[in-house]
Each structure stands twice: as C-alpha cells, then as structure tokens.
Amino acid sequence: MAQHPSTPGHGSSGELTMVHDIEALADAQPDWNRLAALDASPFVTYEWICSWWSALGAGEPLCLLLRDSGGALLAGACFRRSRSGDLTAPTDVNYSPEWDVVAADDQARRRLWHEISRLGRRRVMLTPLHEGRADLATAELEASGYRVLSHVAQHRPYVPLPATWDDLLGSVKRKLRWQWRTFRSRLGGDGDGGLVLRTTSSEAGLDRDLDLFLRLEASGWKGREGTAILADPRAEQLYREFAGRAARQGWLRLSILEIDGAPLAAVYGCAFGGKAFMLKTCFDESRAEHSPGLVLLGDELFDASVDLGIVHAPSLGGRGPWRSPG
C-alpha cells in the first residue's frame, strides 16, 4: 500500500491517455497482449482483465495507456477507483496470483509508474504486484512522496522444462517418478483400460467440457465446503468468460483425464507466453488412492514439453496451483 501526503506537481513524460471503460481497451488489445506476453502472465492480458471486471469489478475502472510519439503502446495499467478516489489493482488474490503494469521494457515501466505517482491519489493498493517489478514501482512512488508498505508472499513455483520428456522425468525425485508410473498403470494407462487425456483448446465442445469440469470440481471437498466455482455465480462467470476469450486466442487448455469415458481429473488452464498455467484443478475423490491428479499433471507436462514446446510449467513438487485450497 502506498499513501501520498499531498497532491503532486504538474507535468508528465510520454503521451498518457486515460480510459474509464474496460471494454474501450479493445482497440489496444493486440499491443496490450504483446506487452503482457513479455511478462508471460495471462493475468495481465486484456482477456483476463475484461473477464475479471465483468464478473467481479466494483468501483470505476481507470486504465492508463502510455504511447510514444508514433502512437505505439509503450506501457499500460488498469486500476479500479474507489468512491474515496483510492486506486487498487483490479484483481483478487483468490483468483489472480499476480498483477502488474504491462510494458515494453523497464524504462517504459518506470515512466508509467512515474505517471501513476503523479495522479494525486491518497492511497494506491497494489496487491498482488508481480514479484519481479515491485522495486520499480516502489522507487517511483517513494520519489513522489508516498510512504510504501509491502508484504512479500510466496508465489506459485514454475520450472524450466528440459528438451525431452525423459530429461523432465530425470529431473524429479525417483519416488515421484515411481508414483506417477505406478498410479498411471493402476488406472489403466499402460494397457487397454481406456485411459485418455482430452484437451479442449477451442470453442468447439467448450461448453460441454466446461460444464463437466465444473461439476467434477463441485463434487468433492470444494463443493462440501462451499468453495467450488459453482458455489459463487461471480466466480462461474469469470471462468466461463475467460475460457471463451482464451479459446478464441488459442491459449485455453481445458484438459480432462478419463477412463472409459468417465472423468477422473481435470485442469482448467492456459498456455501463454511460453508458460503453462493451471488455474483450477479437480479430481474424482472416489479414485483418490490412485492419485488421478498426479497422473493428470504428469500427462499435462508431457504435452507441454513435447507437443506445445512450453518452456516453463508448474513444478512437480511443493505447493502449487494443483494443490491450492482455492
């Protein structure tokens, strides 16, 4: 949180445009997403921001676009403005593990933070600011007189993927390799048991498979504790809308592990900027003794490394999005 003691002076660097309608960013969508891909985060794309605002947005949106003299987008940021005039990131840590401005480089990022610091807002809430960019924001805000309070939280782990599947398996512990192979075999993965991984990445069949995923996610402990997506109409709207937008961009990866047509586990994710993201996962708890979630994760990493050429993906060990209580 940054708190400003007084209104800043006048003047600016770059050509700054302010937009008060999220959908009005559509004209900047290609350039915006090009900058978002530099940070390889779907949570700062036009598609995620629009979906989040449509489902969960409150207050007034305020988007800043910094362009060069030729009109090319150098940097951009979206905020929500409260009734008191404070600025907050248009995210919620329950849905978005990271947030940041998008920028062509550190110079453009610094220029945009300079412009943000001169808006004269008493408080600016930047949770959860991208871990690698916080220093630039802090420096510009403090230079303009803000008192900055920060809290460092653990971020979801990502690992670089080796060139081959065998190299990837060799990079994890022997016990984990044994577990994945053993559980996959017990589920029918090495014979005629009908174990199949289906992945939806376009709008064809999306509604059907998204319904299947949502029902499976609500069938277990999340449904019993009221934390499943279907328990909150706003969350359902967010994930349905983003799935459609991501599918139209070719980012979506809605994967379902099935045996003889029955779903065992599923992951709602996307591939963006050379990284694989698993936003939500679920599994059939009646098959928990065979760890269908682990089997699905291994198959997903195989597809990511071999078929998609993804260079970073969630880690096989430690706390990650596939084990998140959210």
Inter-residue contact 278 to 266 (CB < 8 Å): no
38 or 303, greater pLDDT: 38
Q: Is the pLDDT of residue 326 over 50?
A: no
The contacts of residue 30 (CB under 8 Å, 6+ apart) are none
Which 3 state secondary structure label does DSSP give 106? helix
The dihedral through the CA atoms of 170, 171, 176, 180 has a sign that is: negative
Which element (helix H / strand E) includes 165? helix 165-170
Q: How far, CA to CA in Å, does 234 sit from each of 54, 117, 230, 247?
A: 9, 32, 9, 20
pLDDT of residue 9: 36
115 or 318, greater pLDDT: 115
Q: Is the pLDDT of residue 198 over 70?
A: yes
Tell me whether residue 247 is exposed, middle or buried, using C-beta atoms within 10 angstroms of its C-beta: 0 to 12, 13 to 18, 19 or more.
buried
Confidence (pTM): 0.85
Domains of the chain in start order, with CATH, are: 2-148 (3.40.630), 158-323 (3.40.630.30)
